[in-house]
Amino acid sequence: MKKKLIEIAKEDGRYNAAALKFIYEGLAYTVKNFSEKPQHVSGRTLCEGLRDFALQKWGRLSLLVLNNWGVKNTRDFGEIVYLMIKNNWLSARPDDSIEDFDNAYDFKTVFRDQFKFTPGNPNETEA
């Protein structure tokens, strides 16, 4: 029987359990929206999907939410993915590497500096 995400997060101690759930849900979002091969996505592709998924969920609060969970950069996405692989929630191919997640993009740039309001999105209100 697999450990629950909350148990994995508590044992590891680096990330909030909600961050693990976000990665798991974000993988499904990425496979649906970014992948030509539904059985596998690269670390870089997952980072792109997670960026869009976060912006869709939280808009300009994405940086705050992720940072609050201990997720400060794309390498943290990789750390969570490999933590979930270690606990049999996800799998990797032999040519996959945690380094695939290194420096995919800068969080402050994509979640703050480049953020644009989308008219009609109920998750965003202009200040």
Kindly give the confidence (pLDDT) of every residue in the chain, 127 residues in length, as a single tens digit, with 9 standing for 90 and above: 689 999 999 999 999 999 999 999 999 999 999 877 777 899 999 999 999 999 999 999 999 999 999 999 999 999 999 999 999 999 999 999 999 999 999 999 999 888 776 655 544 544 4
pLDDT at 34: 85
Position 125 scores a pLDDT of: 44
Which of left, alpha, beta for 27 (phi over 0: left; psi -120 to 50: alpha)? alpha
**Distance spanning both ends of the chain, measured CA to CA:** 47
pLDDT attached to residue 119: 57
Model pLDDT, residue 120: 53
